[in-house]
């Protein structure tokens, strides 16, 4: 019956051609798909499935099975996947029946014996007609043992077994002497029914390899060290083989909460009253980011990069985000910039899993958006990463200082303090000598005066990003320095540089340090040229959100130009990529085997007595112990 159906299908689809021409094999166009190699053959007039099977020395059934969607509309120009058959491929013989002898024990029944060997009572009677007269102790009966047919052959790493009626993973585990847990993990998405293909490992796999395979779109262990999420697209070259041609057009969708209608009303009111422009909610930073993105796009186009850009207003609304993600342009984009808010990334997770499109989270610090979201890039380091980074600068000073953590006793701030403490101990030269203490936030000076030491070096870590809270802490610490002559160095979160309620002398008196993704470019020509260009077009000086928009957009579109839409698999193979930003640098790493990428490139700055901002020198072997701990 199966052969007849195959023949009918071949007849039906062979009507595209009436003459038999010489077929050129496409041996030079190989792809990797689900751990197996395939040629990509471009169908030409006159070619049939049968003729292709003869040229490539594979069966018509194999071509039909692999190209079930393509053959529905087979015509000249259709791309077909043809299995690569090499010396490692071995067809298997047709199954035959052999027997095992079972000696009947006292009180055994036909039903029990059939159950024991996984056969039916009818099969037992077929090969042992004498049992119809009843079973007797000591009777010898034949048990049919079928040698299983492994119809799909094998490659270097796996045997591909086509399930027969009655087979399950338990029987295959026994047949191939493979751990049942391994089979379940490798074939977790395979429906265990007759005709489906099950992958059987030819060698013992480690727990890590099983985990990677379970979450991987390729089963080829050659790619374990590249990226656990590695895959290849049969219609697109892998990043290592991508070559940009200016005739290519990259499609980019920008998804931002612009609140266009509301901001239009605000703009009309501002113009009619001659007031400075106002924005709806917090959308001013979004428009700043978009202006920077426009500048990057303009520069890229001047470099002959062919771009098609569409901007979508998410309005910070989940239903609107869903609508945007179903837009045909978005579904076929090469890159998405946005959405901004972390609450929308569950929707993004489903979209990227299906469409395989990389998404840039441009402004969020929330690391949770990366969990099981392997196509997401978070451009801003998380607060947890900032804290770990800070610990590397405090650790070398820990032996000669007293360390204090000032928190509001919330879970979030306590978690950051615990992280800092852990990493200081890890990287300290003498962990047992580290002296630290937690202080609960207070608006009054007493708790700080009672805890800090008057004759010693005090290092204070403030995990808060609340300006009022930070201002109260610094006011009290400054009093300890100016009135009581305490020696204090403060390490704060990046936002401290942009607060407006802080006294300028606090920065020098308290030797304030902060980490930031931005480079210190206040005296560099790049910043001055950028400011001049921006002011020419927008009539004001750029803020850091403009700079973020410029650097992030240029960086990721440049990755498209270098490596194509699947640049994530080549991003860490070129050290120069980390130096490509004008205002900030990038170093992206996955936060977990199945997670997205976080930017871990930061710099540490401090204020001098003259209120100059200088970059603190990285500790010895900084990269080695920071990125590997």
Task: Convert the pLDDT of each residue in 594-629 to its tens digit.
Answer: 789 999 999 999 998 888 889 998 886 554 444 444
Q: How far apart are the first and last CA of the chain?
A: 61
- pLDDT exceeds 70 at position 41: yes
Whether residue 501 is contained in a domain is answered as: yes
Is residue 313 domain-shared with residue 462, that is, in the same domain? no
Asked, for residue 414, whether it belongs to a domain, the answer is yes
Q: In what order do the strands lie in the sheet with 307-313?
A: 307-313, 250-256, 335-337, 358-361, 376-378, 597-599, 588-590
Give the residue from 83, 107, 126 where a domain finishes. 83
Q: Are 215 and 227 within 8 A, CB to CB?
A: no
CB atoms within 10 A of CB 609: 9
Domain count, the chain: 4
Of the candidate ranges 69-83, 216-230, 288-302, 598-612, the one whose mean pLDDT is the lowest: 216-230
Backbone phi and psi for residue 286, each to the nearest 5 degrees, phi listed first: -70, -40
The CA distance from 160 to 488, in Å, is 67
pLDDT, average across residues 326-346? 95
Is the sign of the CA dihedral 74, 77, 83, 85 positive or negative?
A: positive
Supply the pLDDT for residue 154. 66
pLDDT for the residue 87: 37
Same domain, 413 and 322: no
Three-state DSSP at 492 gives strand
**Non-local CB neighbours of 416 within 8 Å, separated by 6+ positions:** 383, 384, 387, 407, 463
Model confidence at 263, in pLDDT bands (50, 70, 90)? confident
Q: Are residues 540 and 614 in the same domain?
A: no
- Tell which residue, 505, 513, 497, has the closest CA to residue 465: 497
Angle of helix 2-13 versus helix 49-56 axis, rounded to 10: 110
Picking from 369, 441, 367, the residue whose alpha carbon sits closest to that of residue 404 is: 441
Residue 456's domain comprises 384-516+607-627
Question: Picking from 70-84, 356-370, 408-422, which range would have the lowest pLDDT averaged per residue?
Answer: 70-84
pLDDT at residue 629, rounded to an integer: 46
Q: Around 410, how many Cα atoms within 13 Å sit in the side-chain half-sphere? A: 8
Average pLDDT on 38-64 reads: 76
For residues 458 and 550, membership in a common domain is answered with no
Residues 446 and 209: their CA atoms lie apart, in Å, by: 56
Q: What is the mean pLDDT of the chain?
A: 81
DSSP single-letter state for residue 149: P
Give the CATH number for residue 274: 3.40.50.2300
Residues 473 and 622 both lie in one domain: yes
The arithmetic mean of pLDDT across residues 112-139, rounded, is 81
The per-residue pLDDT for range 454-503, each reduced to its tens digit, is: 999 999 999 999 999 999 999 999 999 999 999 999 999 999 988 988 99
The whole model's pTM is what?
0.66
Residue 191 contacts by C-beta under 8 Å, 6 or more apart in sequence? none
Residue that is last in its domain, among 57, 83, 109: 83
Weakest mean pLDDT among 44-58, 249-263, 355-369: 44-58
Which run of H or E residues covers position 485?
Answer: none
User: DSSP 3-state assignment of 89?
Assistant: coil
> Do 71 and 64 meet the contact criterion of CB atoms below 8 Å apart?
yes
Q: What pLDDT was estimated at residue 108? A: 85
The residue behind tokens 């003869």 is 54
User: Do 255 and 371 fall within a single domain?
Assistant: yes
pLDDT tens-digit readout, 557-573: 999 999 999 999 888 66
Same-domain check for residues 434 and 509: yes
Within a domain: 192: no
Lookup: tokens for 387: 């804290």
Rounded (5°) CA angle 262-263-266: 95
Identify whether 560 is part of a domain. yes
Q: How far is CA 68 from CA 5, 46, 62, 163, in A?
A: 13, 20, 10, 19
Res 60 pLDDT > 70: no
What pLDDT is stored for residue 17 in this prediction?
36
- pLDDT digit string, tens, across residues 549-558: 999 999 999 9
Mark out the alpha helices in 428-524 (DSSP H runs): 446-451, 467-482, 504-509
Residue 588 inside a domain? The answer is yes
Q: What is the pLDDT of residues 404-445, one digit of tens each?
A: 999 999 999 999 999 998 888 877 777 777 888 999 999 999
- Whether pLDDT at 30 is above 80: no
Q: How many residues does the structure list for the chain?
A: 629
Radius of gyration of the chain (CA): 33
CA distance 255 to 290: 10
Residues 505 and 620 placed together within one structural domain of the fold? yes
Q: Cβ contacts of residue 495 below 8 Å, gap of 6+? A: 465, 467
Q: What is the pLDDT of residue 205?
A: 65
Residue 362 sits at φ, ψ, to 5 deg, of -80, -25
Task: Evaluate whether residue 153 is within a structural domain.
Answer: no
Compare 125 and 214 and report the one with higher pLDDT: 125
Asked if 550 and 565 sit in the same domain, the reply is yes
| CATH code assigned at 116 | 3.10.350.10
In a domain? residue 176: no
Coil vs helix vs strand at 229: coil
Other Cβ atoms closer than 10 A to 247: 6
For the segment 514-538, the average pLDDT, to the nearest whole number, is: 78
Cα separation, 577 vs 374, in Å, equals 20
Residues 6+ apart with CB under 8 A from 61: 2, 6
Clarify whether residues 501 and 396 are in a common domain.
yes
Which range has the top average pLDDT, 201-205, 206-210, 592-596? 592-596
Same structural domain for residues 474 and 618?
yes
Tell me, yes or no, whether 443 and 549 share the same domain.
no
301 lies in some domain: yes
């Amino acid at each position: 019956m199966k052969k007849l159906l195959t023949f009918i299908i071949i007849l039906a689809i062979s009507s595209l051609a009436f003459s038999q021409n010489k077929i050129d094999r496409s041996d030079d166009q190989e792809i990797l798909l689900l751990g197996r190699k395939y040629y990509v053959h471009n169908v030409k007039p006159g070619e049939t499935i049968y003729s292709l099977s003869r040229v490539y020395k594979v069966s018509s059934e194999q071509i039909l099975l692999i190209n079930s969607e393509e053959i529905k509309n087979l015509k000249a120009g259709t791309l077909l996947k043809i299995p690569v058959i090499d010396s490692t491929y071995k067809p298997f013989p047709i199954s035959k029946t052999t027997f095992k002898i079972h000696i009947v024990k006292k009180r055994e029944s036909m039903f029990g014996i059939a159950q024991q060997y996984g056969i039916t009572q009818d099969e037992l009677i077929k090969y042992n007609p004498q049992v119809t007269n009843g079973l007797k102790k000591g009777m010898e009966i034949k048990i049919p043992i079928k040698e299983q047919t492994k119809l799909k052959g094998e490659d270097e790493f796996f045997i591909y077994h086509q399930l027969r009626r009655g087979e399950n993973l338990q029987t295959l585990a026994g047949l191939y002497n493979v751990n049942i847990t391994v089979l379940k993990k490798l074939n977790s998405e395979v429906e265990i029914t007759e005709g489906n293909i099950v992958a059987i490992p030819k060698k013992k796999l480690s727990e890590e390899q099983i985990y990677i395979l379970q979450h991987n779109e390729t089963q080829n262990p050659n790619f374990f060290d590249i990226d656990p999420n590695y895959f290849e697209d049969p219609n697109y070259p892998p990043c290592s083989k991508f070559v940009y041609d200016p005739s290519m057009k990259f499609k980019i969708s920008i998804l931002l909460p612009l609140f266009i209608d509301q901001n239009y009303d605000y703009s009309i009111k501002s113009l009619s009253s001659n007031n400075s422009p106002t924005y709806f909610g917090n959308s001013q930073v979004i428009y700043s980011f978009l202006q920077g993105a426009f500048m990057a796009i303009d520069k890229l186009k001047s470099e002959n990069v062919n771009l098609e850009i569409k901007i979508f207003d998410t309005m910070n609304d989940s239903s609107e985000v869903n609508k945007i993600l179903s837009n045909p342009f978005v579904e076929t984009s090469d890159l998405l910039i946005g959405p901004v808010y972390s609450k929308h990334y569950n929707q993004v997770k489903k979209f990227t899993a299906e469409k395989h499109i990389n998404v840039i989270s441009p402004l969020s610090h929330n690391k949770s958006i990366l969990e099981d979201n392997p196509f997401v890039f978070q451009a801003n380091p998380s607060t947890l990463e900032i804290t770990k980074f800070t610990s590397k600068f405090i650790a070398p000073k820990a032996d000669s200082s007293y360390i204090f953590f000032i928190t509001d006793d919330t879970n979030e701030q306590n978690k950051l303090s615990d992280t800092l403490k852990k990493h200081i101990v890890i990287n300290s030269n003498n962990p047992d000598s580290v002296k630290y203490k937690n202080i609960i936030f207070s608006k009054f000076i007493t708790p700080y005066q009672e805890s800090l030491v008057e004759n010693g070096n005090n290092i204070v870590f403030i995990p808060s990003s609340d300006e009022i809270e930070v201002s109260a802490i610094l006011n009290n610490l400054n009093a300890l320095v100016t009135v009581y002559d305490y020696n204090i160095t403060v390490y704060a979160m990046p936002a401290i540089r942009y607060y407006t309620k802080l006294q300028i002398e606090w920065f020098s008196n308290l030797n304030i340090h902060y980490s930031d993704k931005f480079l210190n470019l206040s005296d560099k020509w790049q910043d001055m040229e950028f400011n001049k260009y921006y002011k020419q077009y927008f009539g004001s000086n750029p803020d850091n959100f403009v700079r973020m928009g410029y650097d992030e957009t240029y960086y990721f579109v440049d990755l498209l130009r270098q490596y194509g839409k699947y640049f994530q698999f080549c991003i860490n193979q070129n050290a120069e990529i980390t130096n490509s930003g004008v205002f900030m640098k990038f170093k992206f790493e996955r936060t977990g085997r199945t997670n997205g990428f976080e930017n871990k490139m930061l710099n540490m700055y401090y204020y001098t007595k003259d209120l100059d901002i200088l970059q603190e020198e990285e500790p010895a072997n900084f990269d080695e112990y920071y990125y590997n701990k």
